[in-house]
Amino acid sequence: MSVAASAGAEQRASLGDWIAVIAGALGALIASLDISIVNSALPQIQGEVGASGTEGTWISTGYLVSEVVMIPLAAWLSRLLGLRNLLLICGGLFTLFSMTCGLAHDLPTMILGRVGQGFFGGALIPTAQTIVRTRLPPKQIPIGMTLFGLIVLLGPLVGPVIGGWLTESVSWRWCFFLNLPVAGALFTLLLLGLPHERMKLERLVEADWLGIVGMTFGLSCLTVVLEEGQRDRWFESGFIVGLTAVSALGFVLLAVAQATAREPVIKLRLMLNRSYASVILIIVVIGMVLYGVLYVLPQFLSLIAGYNAEQSGRILAISGIPAFLMMPLLPLILGHAPLRLTVLIGLGCFAVSCFFNTSLTADTGGDHFFFSQLIQGVGQILCFMPLNQASVGSVSREDAADAAGLFNMARNLGGSLGLALLGVFIDRRVESHADAIGQSVTQNSELAQSRIADQAAGFAATNGGDLGAAQTQALRSLAGTIHQQAMVITYAEGFWLLGIALICMAPLVFLLRPPPKAAAATEMMH
């Protein structure tokens, strides 16, 4: 049978193929949900396991560190163990560590559970993308990519809402126990949809161990530096300096392995592909902006508008509405709309949503963000979905798993980098703006003195006429107002910078190259 005839005969995926795609999507769902589902429950978790605020950050950091190590390893492990075996092992151990978290009564046990969750959950996201690429014919790949993309986008958005509801209505432990019934469905679908493959454990002997060690130390230490650096005042901390040195050594080892290994564990040569490299650079910035918004917006709603975690989660979830409304159109957009134009429109919408939030005031409430969150949701879909497809479509089928791993790793590292840079920016700018505002509030300012006098009189009337205490309260209130105004200005500037970062990615869009349809059809041949 000719290539053309075979390609024509294989136009629709089988039931088994779709079961495999759904299984991969379900695995990606529980992994992406667990990135953020505990955020709403973190105060309650810290209280029950006896962790301080600083110690409690490791409940989230431990997950991210181990996840970013596993994501690029997933392609190599799938070749070593077989895709179904890898997913069954990772799904089973992810569930086991989820139960460990749910049953934890002390901080070390909780951190151990989160590290295990992150490591084994890290394989579930890129392998879902690989299943779509390798099991579906070219014409149906947009449908599979739509399913995968929606889950990866919506998971971090709905996670805080679900986590907040479970914490308030049942118990924070159900944020972890929820994974047990989902894992049961996942195992069933994996056994039905994916064929058994023989493990190739003999490859362990000739594996790129230098690259594995270098990548593990390089990525894990870099992630900790980015996540914890701001809290430890960066290079004033010996801990951060040491981790930075270890990270640099790890990347040196990885570079040596790239040049010497017969089959490197992570195929960085894919970055020589101009289109793929453009995808990676754009997704790093999108990760920075997305995680930046997920950081700045709840901060504003909590510290300025006085919202609790559940209320903030509802505002964040608004950006998921366009995904559901656009769902029927997404396969059509991915299959027929020009790739570059779609990504440009997406970047524009995402940037506009950021610029819309540059007019914040101390009186701004959650209603202000409704429109900007909707526009952001449209932008995310139109950016992420085509880039997601282009990341595996611009490489050969054999490299699809490695391309998916690098793509997801880039998004996560972009998020960590964005949070680190935003943390530094916010701290520095709040201090700068507070000093500038404070300099205008002097004894020569009639408006300031009048405000202090009015507030002091009000406080004196309620505390028994103690004018000294009332004056102190008035000054403290003024200092609080100055700090609040400084934060509002800084958050508005933060949104402005995020929007500018997205606009700067526009030139790279013209380097993107959609996969030729003929080549894609030929790749589906076995």
In a 3-state reduction of DSSP, which class is residue 471? helix
Tokens of 218: 């390089």
> What is the mean predicted confidence (pLDDT) over 180-187?
86
Choose among 475, 480, 471: nearest CA to 362.
Answer: 480
Amino acid (1-letter code) at residue 184: G
| CB distance 26 to 185 below 8 Å | yes
| CB distance 76 to 203 below 8 Å | no
> What is the mean predicted confidence (pLDDT) over 137-144?
77
Q: What is the pLDDT of residues 15-50, one digit of tens each?
A: 878 888 888 888 888 887 777 777 667 777 877 777
More confident residue, 482 or 1: 482
Q: What is the pLDDT of residues 190-226, one digit of tens each?
A: 888 778 878 777 777 777 888 888 888 888 888 788 7
| CB distance 334 to 389 below 8 Å | yes
| CB distance 473 to 458 below 8 Å | no
pLDDT at 8: 42
Cβ-based neighbours of 446, under 8 Å, separated by 6 or more: none
Percent pLDDT > 70 in the chain is: 84
pLDDT at 520: 39
| CB distance 114 to 14 below 8 Å | no
| CB distance 278 to 512 below 8 Å | yes
| pLDDT higher than threshold 60 for residue 521 | no
Choose among 263, 238, 326, 299: nearest CA to 423.
Answer: 299
Phi, psi dihedrals of residue 137, rounded to the nearest 5°: -70, 160
d(CA 235, CA 415): 21
CATH number of 11-205: 1.20.1250.20
Q: Find out if CATH 1.20.1250.20 is the number for domain 269-440+490-526.
A: yes
d(CA 518, CA 515): 9
Choose among 392, 413, 399: nearest CA to 67.
Answer: 413
| pLDDT higher than threshold 80 for residue 459 | no
Domain ranges of the chain: 11-205, 208-264, 269-440+490-526, 441-486
Choose among 172, 174, 167, 176: nearest CA to 100.
Answer: 176
pLDDT at 433: 81
Residues 194-226 as b/e (b if ≥16 CB within 10 A, e otherwise) read beeeeeeeeeeeeebebbbebbbbbbbbbbbbb
The half-sphere exposure of 501 on its side-chain side, counting CA atoms within 13 A, is 23
Cβ-based neighbours of 262, under 8 Å, separated by 6 or more: 206
Is there a shared CATH topology between the 11-205 domain and the 269-440+490-526 domain? yes
pLDDT at 431: 82
| pLDDT higher than threshold 90 for residue 97 | yes
Q: What is the pLDDT of residues 41-95, one digit of tens each?
A: 777 787 777 766 566 667 777 787 788 888 888 888 888 888 888 889 998 999 9
Q: What is the pLDDT of residues 382-441, one digit of tens each?
A: 888 788 777 777 777 777 777 877 887 888 788 878 877 887 788 888 888 877 777 766
pLDDT at 351: 93
pLDDT at 7: 43
Tokens of 209: 């161990």
| pLDDT higher than threshold 90 for residue 329 | no
Q: What is the pLDDT of residues 222-254, one digit of tens each?
A: 878 877 777 777 877 888 888 899 989 988 988
Whole-number Cα distances in Å, 336 to 340, 341, 397, 524 = 12, 11, 21, 19
Choose among 113, 176, 122: nearest CA to 152.
Answer: 122
d(CA 523, CA 272): 21
d(CA 392, CA 479): 53
| CB distance 152 to 29 below 8 Å | no
pLDDT at 2: 39
Length of the chain as a residue count: 526
Q: Quote the mean pLDDT of the chain.
A: 78
Whole-number Cα distances in Å, 335 to 126, 332, 347 = 21, 5, 19
d(CA 12, CA 272): 33
Residue 132: pLDDT band (50, 70, 90) is confident
pLDDT at 463: 59
DSSP state of 515: P
Kindly give the interhelix angle for 274-303 and 309-317, rounded to the nearest 10 degrees: 140
Residue 348: pLDDT band (50, 70, 90) is very high
